[in-house]
Chain A
Amino acid sequence: DIQMTQSPSSLSASVGDRVTITCRASQGISNYLAWFQQKPGKAPKSLIYAASILQSGVPSKFSGSGSGTDFTLTISSLQPEEFATYYCQQYKSYPYTFGQGTKLEIK
């Protein structure tokens, strides 16, 4: 299985900050990477697929980049509703695997 490792596991930030979350794959996955946002008690929401393509309706303050083994999710000008847990997932090969999650908390 391809292992996905996110860093950091948790992150404290303030409203208005710009933050970056990193996701590393244990082997190359080209750009077969998705990012999800999950709020407590809710289903995950798809943000980005193919490493950098925003899902319909997702604001451009979210951006993704990377290819191969190293990927990033950047959120600019954090708003209160964006404090959540973020997951990356590879879909290059089965079984699809997720990172362990990054919990973004208000400082």
Chain B
Amino acid sequence: SQQGEEDPQALSIQEGENATMNCSYKTSINNLQWYRQNSGRGLVHLILIRSNEREKHSGRLRVTLDTSKKSSSLLITASRAADTASYFCATAAGGTSYGKLTFGQGTILTVHP
């Protein structure tokens, strides 16, 4: 079973709107990462949040982490058509800094111009 589960599975919005994606996980983690994948390409790292952090920002990205609920959210503000991609959360299990990284099923984001 997947450690990280994203929802929604698909999200369709208009350019300029905000996009929020959620990730839930089952076991304790050391850190949680978000990746982006354009169609037919490899994954690109977006942001990493550690288990002792609650919120992190990077440009138009805002990530939150709630370890009590075992969940994280990724907010993309002022979305652009170029943000159209699949977004995955990935977790590294507690007790190991970066070893095995487990990915969720992803959220497909479509931003309409």
Partners in one complex: no
